[in-house]
Chains A and B, each alone.
Chain A
Amino acid sequence: MHPAFSVIFLTTLIGTGQGFFLALYTEQVYSVVELLPPQPASFYTLGSAIALAFLIAGLIASFFHLGHPERAWRSAARWRTSWLSREVIVLPALMGAVAAYGLVHYYEWDLNIIGIKTSAHGDLSLVVGAGGTALAFLLFLCTGMIYACIKFLQEWASWLTVFNYTLFGLASGFLLATAYAAYRAPALMYFYGGWTVVATAVVLATRVGSLIRNRRFKHKSTIQTAIGVRHARIVQKSQGFMGGSFNTRDFFHGVAPWLFRWIKWIFLVLVFPVPMALLFAGMIDRSVTLITSAFVIQYLGLLVERWFFFAQANHPQNLYYQTIS
């Protein structure tokens, strides 16, 4: 497939936004049961604004993918069958939940305003945040399933795709949260940093797992099934036209094989060892700059990772477009 930058930015930006929101809510839940020190409302309000900014940036990026962005509202129609349609519904819903979560903290509302008294501090935000958490995980599922549900794109059609989208989002969101904590609440830095390492380690395993899987499986479609002729040696002599077409532009990544192989190693280095080293150095020095640079480098790595994810998928239609003439 030809990677589209709009989709690369969409999936990486909303993944970070979702992960960052989950990091905020996790901290609040831990502080309610007194495992972590409570934070002032401004910590959550500013945090929600940052998460919302990532989600909005992702949404804006997605519009560049559309031929008719003015009709984008129509895409909520087929949620019964289409994971893309489900994503279109869940993303604004999550944005609403994150905005509400920030506002509830900003105004310090609690369930008292509807006449329910509880002993927990910030109980309304816990309820809103629980809804946001469910939506954030649902959005990871929708995003992953958009790719995993196309059964003949065998590189994508696996539960690993959904896992990788979720875990990359969590890793990048928690890493951003570590930088945020280093800046606003140093007491939380090790908590977030620890979970960043856990998420990054798990996604290293699942992403390498998917790389190994993609190396090993056999494509079900062959030139024989594509044209229905049973012979061991079939060579295309003409694809029917000499110029380019949508079929030759949108389904081939167009990068030289040696560079393609390098890109895999570039993302593996940028996403895993480099940010982890910077994170450790940053946590030892309590340096906001180092942890922020860890996040930026991992985000750049995720852009490369997403490019590779798209480029590696070999669409069966390519069997029909092997030779110009």
Chain B
Amino acid sequence: MTQLALVIDLNVCVGCHACVTSCKEWNTSGAAGYLSDDRPYGQDPTGTFFNRVQTFEVGEFPNTDTVHFPKSCLHCEDPPCVPVCPTGASYKRPEDGIVLVDYDKCIGCKYCAWACPYGVREIDEHQKVMKKCTLCVDRIYDMSVPESERKPACVLACPTNARLFGDVHDPESAVSIAISENGGYALMPEWGTKPANHYLPRRKTRIKIHADELVRADNPLKKEGVLPKPDVKEPSLDDATSW
């Protein structure tokens, strides 16, 4: 069984919103119709977005860590939004695990948005149907684009490669390896939704220097300084040692 998903590396996300704009650009131009975008340059802009980048501050000044946090549909393996849909418009594809909305069946009752704890479903204010991330399902299977570009628009746009795309059920895939080797985790595990998308935590690279590493062990006189050099005429192995 295949479960396509994104793995988002919070360690390298710089919060540039390139994934947000490329997502909006791709998904507003597709066969499924536009995404609402009202007053984009006006006083109170609003619209439908599948992906957002949020920013959180962890800790207290001066010991703070700024976490940029991209959030889109997590394509849960047990999606709570699917069984509540009265029409069957909301469904999970068995072949690749993508959770999708059939815009022709959706009645716009918003019940699925109530049933999603992550707030990743949005009603399109003009088309009056529920919309959400499709993992660019109209792109990843499109044989007319080069194979290297058969990835979601957000993944292609990310300048720091913070977004990985692949099959999280295949233990050999790059995303599975990233999850297992870098401590990938799911959001709100308390609700048992088993999100397919995973996040990689912030990681700090530190070197540990032990006290005995600060002094040279082969220095019996414990005198640090310019070492006695052999005479220039004498044979030497390097600057420090002589025969």
Contact with B along A295-325 (1 / 0, CB 8 A): 0000000000000000000011110110000
Q: Cα distance A77–B59 when bound, in Å?
A: 49
Assess A76 versus B45: contact at CB under 8 Å? Given A220-B190, A226-B187, A228-B187: no
Q: Which residue on B lies nearest to A86, using beta carbons? A: B86
A47 smallest CB distance to B (angstroms): 31
Assess A244 versus B87: contact at CB under 8 Å? Given A151-B191, A320-B118: no
Pair B129/A67 contact, Cβ less than 8 Å: yes
Contact with A along B20-60 (1 / 0, CB 8 A): 10000000000000000001000011111100111111111
Q: Indicate whether A75 reaches chain B with its CB closer than 8 angstroms.
A: yes
Pair A227/B57 contact, Cβ less than 8 Å: no
Pair A240/B187 contact, Cβ less than 8 Å: no
Pair A237/B57 contact, Cβ less than 8 Å: yes
Q: Cα distance A71–B123 when bound, in Å?
A: 16
Q: Which residue on B lies nearest to A223, using beta carbons? A: B56
- CB contacts (< 8 Å) of A149 on chain B: these are 84
Q: Indicate whether A229 reaches chain B with its CB closer than 8 angstroms.
A: yes
Q: Interface size (B, Cβ < 8 Å)? A: 61
Partner among B107, B118, B191 whose Cβ is within 8 Å of the Cβ of A66: B107
Pair B111/A84 contact, Cβ less than 8 Å: yes
Q: Interface size (A, Cβ < 8 Å)? A: 57
- CB contacts (< 8 Å) of B71 on chain A: these are 240, 320
Pair B122/A75 contact, Cβ less than 8 Å: no
Q: Cα distance A78–B83 when bound, in Å?
A: 8
Q: How many A-B residue pairs have CB under 8 A?
A: 173
Q: Cα distance A324–B238 when bound, in Å?
A: 64
Q: Cα distance A214–B80 when bound, in Å?
A: 23
Q: Which residue on A lies nearest to B200, using beta carbons? A: A228
Which residues of chain B from 163 to 200 have a CB within 8 Å of any chain A CB? 185-191, 199
Pair A228/B201 contact, Cβ less than 8 Å: yes
Which residues of chain B from 54 to 97 have a CB within 8 Å of any chain A CB? 54-60, 66-67, 69, 71, 80, 82-89
B21 smallest CB distance to A (angstroms): 12
Contact with B along A243-287 (1 / 0, CB 8 A): 111110011000000000000000000000000000000000000
B11 smallest CB distance to A (angstroms): 12
Q: Indicate whether B203 reaches chain A with its CB closer than 8 angstroms.
A: no
Pair B122/A66 contact, Cβ less than 8 Å: no
Q: Indicate whether B106 reaches chain A with its CB closer than 8 angstroms.
A: yes
Pair A233/B118 contact, Cβ less than 8 Å: no
- CB contacts (< 8 Å) of B117 on chain A: these are 152, 221, 315-317
Q: Cα distance A315–B116 when bound, in Å?
A: 9
Partner among B108, B123, B187, B201 whose Cβ is within 8 Å of the Cβ of A225: B187
- Which A positions have Cβ atoms within 8 angstroms of B? 1, 65-69, 71-72, 74-78, 81-85, 88, 146, 149-153, 220-221, 223, 225-229, 231, 233-247, 250-251, 315-318, 320-321
Instruction: Return the 10 tightest CB-CB contacts between A and B, nearest first.
Output: A67-B108, A317-B119, A67-B128, A240-B52, A75-B86, A81-B83, A85-B86, A243-B45, A74-B87, A246-B122
